[in-house]
């Protein structure tokens, strides 16, 4: 069957009333958490994961995916109107977007952000539709050594991009691997690091860890700062950018989309990285590059298109290889596994309704988001006026209920608190959470493929360098590890200014 | 940052070594037949090694005049919130979800900004009711009933 027939089948799934509803719900919630600073897509997805337990896997993934790409839309609104990024991938949009709003062009900035997001998102899904199925054939050649090396590469890239010290980011990855081994060893059946606590036998769940690290820790951090959100007081009118704006932005949109797509596929990459790189590239190539930061519309179009196409592209490694490229995809991996769908090369063949249904829902979701974000912009601005002291208890409440309902266990709530405190201390002392989460999620898979490889090779590490795909991955990882040791280049790590993706 | 890193990196170093020790006890195995302690051992060893490098870097780094990261932290407020959350966990099964959550919400709505009590009561009741309706009525989630069990 060719792609079009398959996609047609996907639309049949996605257009079922229930799936349409979940798609809409995901987009709505995504836009909301995107608009609200301090609550990112990762936290929102972990909050809602337990709520998807009793719906079919397609609907669950459709909704969770909607939250992710919806947040990419919503984040720009806060950036433009309040000069606070609604979520990490919109940091760059603040620079020119807010300036435009000050100059009375808030409408054009919001419009360009929404249209740019829509165009790039749609192109991203088109590319996903075309690229993913052939990639599966390639992925079938992946054995344990390839998986191991690719996972190592992903973790190295993420630590390479970390905003603080790379050594400490690597330390967090090690810590993640260690926490991932808590519980029963699948191969030998012996229990590890459980300290006699029954609840630790199955390991610590992803949800309590993520909610603690990204939800509770943020609450604790915000206790000390008074949060003032001054919504820019202006009538948002004329949401359609002018013809001149479009002509100026066309190359920014194209470049943003392409850059976003490739950085989105990259293990360890994702929307945050894409928006930073795309802004920097645009600044260099645009004829008005020297005016960037003063309120030029290209400065909004480039990062907004990049973060949306990256958000779509990030699904490719997850759905073809079963490897999450970033923290958000790790959440989706967890969701799929809970629903009994194992992501990997066989996903498209075994669960074609899940794959094509989700892909088709993304086309629909992008249209929904355009409608949600343009005419309803006033509603989202109202949302920003809800004071933080009111929001805070609600976020805590959702974290508590969410972590409890995963396994109906008070112990999980306790683990969430523990990781909340760990996350708070990590944030305070500038140790990064994303490498920890990625390593924590990949840990069991990494351990399995490492052991398998060593058993195949009878204990020789040669297996990792004699197989070409694996050797290339490890070589790239090694180069990235060595770069910080070269003093001059090391200072210019792109991630030096990067915020973490939560 | 220097002093914080000295403490932080030392903690990680100790943790890495402790993990190595425990993993050794679990049986590391060898490369041909890796045991259950294999990955934890090497991850722990790497963690310890990296922390040691980071620690040496911090020691060699010249101290800079920087405001402490703990400046502006309201220890009392932080402690109270953590204590409240901990109490919530301890009492959840005995007091039940509704009672326990209501008390916690009353506290949380007051702690950041001292709103008048009638607002606090109203906000707590409203948010509790909506969460209860969404999760228990629509999503069929079971939450501990505790003291209010007789209401069912």
Strand partners, A183: A192
Residues A306, A274 contacting (CB under 8 angstroms): yes
d(CA A170, CA A282): 31
Nearest Cβ partner of B35 from A165, A188, A393?
A188
Which is more confident, A355 or A499?
A355
The answer, for B96 touching chain A at a CB cutoff of 8 Å, is no
pTM, whole model, 2 decimals? 0.84
Is it the case that residue A499 has pLDDT exceeding 50?
Answer: no
ipTM: 0.91
At residue B83 the predicted structure's pLDDT band, cuts being 50, 70 and 90, is very high
Q: What does the buried/exposed string (b/e) look like for A87-108 if buried means 16 or more CB atoms within 10 Å of the residue's CB?
A: bbbbbbbbbbbbbbbeeebbbb
Which is more confident, B98 or A385?
B98
The mean per-residue pLDDT over the stretch B97-102 comes to 90
pLDDT recorded at residue B58? 84
Both structure tokens of A455: 């058993």
> What is the DSSP track for B38-53?
HHHHHHHHHHHHHHHH
At residue B86 the predicted structure's pLDDT band, cuts being 50, 70 and 90, is very high
Both structure tokens of A88: 């990490």
Nearest Cβ partner of B53 from A167, A225, A401?
A167
Burial class from Cβ neighbours inside 10 Å (0-12, 13-18, 19+) for residue A16 reads middle
Chain mean position to CA A164: 19
Is it the case that residue A243 has pLDDT exceeding 60?
Answer: yes
Please list the helix, strand and coil fractions of chain A in percent, rounded to the nearest 5, in that order: 75, 0, 25
Locus of tokens 């009878």: A458
Which is more confident, A162 or A144?
A144
Is it the case that residue B148 has pLDDT exceeding 80?
Answer: no
Q: Would you give the DSSP letter of residue A494?
A: G
At residue A438 the predicted structure's pLDDT band, cuts being 50, 70 and 90, is confident
Chain mean position to CA A45: 10
Both structure tokens of A410: 């008070």
Is it the case that residue A117 has pLDDT exceeding 60?
Answer: yes
Chain A residues close to B54, C-beta within 8 Å: 165, 167-168, 171
Strand partners, A184: A191
Which is more confident, A408 or B141?
A408
Task: Give B137→chain A minimum CA distance, Å.
Answer: 12
Helix ranges (DSSP H) in A181-294: 206-210, 217-222, 243-265, 271-285
Is it the case that residue B48 has pLDDT exceeding 90?
Answer: yes
Is it the case that residue B150 has pLDDT exceeding 70?
Answer: no
* Record: contact A410-B72, CB cut-off 8 A: no
The residue among A82, A63, A83 whose CA lies nearest residue A71 is A63
Sign of CA dihedral B18, B23, B29, B33: negative
pLDDT in tens, A88-97: 788 888 888 8
At residue A235 the predicted structure's pLDDT band, cuts being 50, 70 and 90, is low
The mean per-residue pLDDT over the stretch A294-303 comes to 89
The answer, for B41 touching chain A at a CB cutoff of 8 Å, is no
Lowest-pLDDT range, A13-22, A55-64, A191-200, B51-60? A191-200
* Start-to-end CA span in chain B (Å): 55
Locus of tokens 């997001």: A117
pLDDT recorded at residue B103? 92
Task: Give A225→chain B minimum CA distance, Å.
Answer: 8
d(CA A430, CA A213): 13
Both structure tokens of A177: 């691997």
Give the number of A-B residue pairs with CB atoms closer than 8 Å.
Answer: 160
* Record: contact A193-B124, CB cut-off 8 A: no
* Start-to-end CA span in chain A (Å): 38
Q: Which of A25, A49, A166, A389 should one mutate to test binding to chain B, selecting the residue with the greatest count of B CBs within 10 A?
A: A389
Average pLDDT of the residues of chain A: 84
* Record: contact B141-A405, CB cut-off 8 A: yes
pLDDT in tens, A45-94: 877 777 787 788 899 999 999 998 888 888 888 888 877 777 778 888 88
At residue B76 the predicted structure's pLDDT band, cuts being 50, 70 and 90, is confident
d(CA A108, CA A114): 10
A4-A321-A121 Cα angle (round to 5): 50
d(CA B106, CA B103): 5
d(CA B110, CA B141): 28
pLDDT recorded at residue A233? 56
The answer, for A455 touching chain B at a CB cutoff of 8 Å, is yes
* Record: contact A428-B69, CB cut-off 8 A: yes
In order of A259, A308, A405, B18, the CA distances from A359 in angstroms are 21, 15, 29, 46
Is it the case that residue A100 has pLDDT exceeding 80?
Answer: yes
Residues A410, B93 contacting (CB under 8 angstroms): yes
At residue A213 the predicted structure's pLDDT band, cuts being 50, 70 and 90, is confident
d(CA A119, CA B146): 52
* Record: contact B123-A421, CB cut-off 8 A: no
d(CA B75, CA A74): 34
Is it the case that residue B137 has pLDDT exceeding 70?
Answer: yes
Chain mean position to CA A347: 21
The mean per-residue pLDDT over the stretch B140-152 comes to 67
Both structure tokens of B15: 């943790």
pLDDT recorded at residue B149? 61
pLDDT recorded at residue A43? 77
pLDDT recorded at residue A498? 44
pLDDT in tens, B3-27: 778 888 999 999 999 999 999 888 8
How many residues in total does chain A contain? 502
Is it the case that residue A1 has pLDDT exceeding 60?
Answer: no
Q: What does the buried/exposed string (b/e) look like for A211-225 if buried means 16 or more CB atoms within 10 Å of the residue's CB?
A: bbbbbbbbbbbbbee
pLDDT in tens, B61-71: 777 666 677 77
Nearest Cβ partner of A224 from B72, B113, B115?
B72
pLDDT recorded at residue A226? 61
* Record: contact A54-B39, CB cut-off 8 A: no
The residue among A168, A211, A277, A108 whose CA lies nearest residue A423 is A211
Task: Give B81→chain A minimum CA distance, Å.
Answer: 8
* Closest residue of chain B to A461, computed from CA coordinates: B31
d(CA A296, CA A354): 41
Is it the case that residue A245 has pLDDT exceeding 50?
Answer: yes
Q: At what angle do helices B75-95 and B97-111 cross, to 10 degrees?
A: 170
d(CA A1, CA A8): 11
At residue A500 the predicted structure's pLDDT band, cuts being 50, 70 and 90, is very low
């Amino acid at each position: 069957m060719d792609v079009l027939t398959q996609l047609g089948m996907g639309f049949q799934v996605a257009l079922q009333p229930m799936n349409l509803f979940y798609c809409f719900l995901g987009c709505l919630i995504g836009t909301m958490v995107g608009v609200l600073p301090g609550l990112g897509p990762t936290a929102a997805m972990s909050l809602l994961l337990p709520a998807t337990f009793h719906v079919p896997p397609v609907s669950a993934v459709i909704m969770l995916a909607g939250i992710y790409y919806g947040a990419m839309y919503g984040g720009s609104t806060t950036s433009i109107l309040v000069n606070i990024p609604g979520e990490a991938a919109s940091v760059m949009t603040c620079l020119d977007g807010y300036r435009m709003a000050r100059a009375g062009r808030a409408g054009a900035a919001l419009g360009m952000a929404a249209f740019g997001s829509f165009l790039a998102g749609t192109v991203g899904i088109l590319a996903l539709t075309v690229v993913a199925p052939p990639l599966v054939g390639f992925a079938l050649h992946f054995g344990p050594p390839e998986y191991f090396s690719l996972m190592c590469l992903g973790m190295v890239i993420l630590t390479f991009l970390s905003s603080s010290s790379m050594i400490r980011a690597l330390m967090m990855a090690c810590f993640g691997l260690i926490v991932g081994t808590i519980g029963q060893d699948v191969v030998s059946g012996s229990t590890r690091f459980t300290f006699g606590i029954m609840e630790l036998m199955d390991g610590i769940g992803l949800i309590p860890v993520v909610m603690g690290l990204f939800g509770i820790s943020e609450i604790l951090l915000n206790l000390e700062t008074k949060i003032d959100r001054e919504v820019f007081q202006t009538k948002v009118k004329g949401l359609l950018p002018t013809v001149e704006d479009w002509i100026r932005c066309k190359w920014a949109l194209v470049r943003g989309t392409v850059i976003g797509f490739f950085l989105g596929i990259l293990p360890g990459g994702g929307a945050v990285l894409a928006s930073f790189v795309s802004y920097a590239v645009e600044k260099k190539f645009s004829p008005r590059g020297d005016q960037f930061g003063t309120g030029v519309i290209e400065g909004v179009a480039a990062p907004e298109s990049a973060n949306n196409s990256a958000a779509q592209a990030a699904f490719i490694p997850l759905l073809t290889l079963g490897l999450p490229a970033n923290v958000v995809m790790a959440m989706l991996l967890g969701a799929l596994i809970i629903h009994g769908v194992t992501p990997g090369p066989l996903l498209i063949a075994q669960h074609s309704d899940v794959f094509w249904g989700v892909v088709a829902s993304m086309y629909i979701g992008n249209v929904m988001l355009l409608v949600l974000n343009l005419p309803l912009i006033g509603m989202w601005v109202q949302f920003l006026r809800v004071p933080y002291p009111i929001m805070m208890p609600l976020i805590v409440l959702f974290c508590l209920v969410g972590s409890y309902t995963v396994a109906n266990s008070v112990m999980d709530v306790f683990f969430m608190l523990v990781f909340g405190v760990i996350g708070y201390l990590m944030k305070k002392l500038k140790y990064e959470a994303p490498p920890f989460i990625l390593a924590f999620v990949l840990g069991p898979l990494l351990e399995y493929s490492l052991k398998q490889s060593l058993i195949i090779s009878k204990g020789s590490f040669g297996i990792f360098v004699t197989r070409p795909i694996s050797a290339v991955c490890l070589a790239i990882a090694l180069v990235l590890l060595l770069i910080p040791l070269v003093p001059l280049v090391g200072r210019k790590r792109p991630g030096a200014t990067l915020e973490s993706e939560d | 940052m220097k002093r914080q890193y000295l403490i932080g990196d030392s903690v990680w170093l100790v943790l890495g070594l402790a993990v190595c020790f425990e993993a050794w006890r679990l049986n590391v195995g060898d490369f041909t037949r890796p045991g259950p302690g294999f990955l934890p051992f090497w991850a722990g060893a790497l963690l310890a090694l990296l922390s040691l490098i980071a620690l040496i870097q911090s020691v060699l780094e010249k101290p800079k005049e920087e405001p402490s990261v703990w400046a502006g932290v309201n220890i009392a407020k932080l402690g109270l919130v953590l204590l409240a959350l901990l109490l919530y966990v301890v009492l959840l099964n005995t007091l039940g979800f509704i009672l326990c959550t209501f008390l916690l919400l009353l506290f949380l709505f007051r702690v950041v900004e001292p709103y008048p009590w009638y607002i606090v009561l109203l906000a707590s009741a409203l948010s509790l009711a909506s969460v209860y309706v969404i999760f228990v009525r629509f999503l069929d989630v079971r939450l501990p009933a505790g003291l209010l069990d007789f209401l069912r």
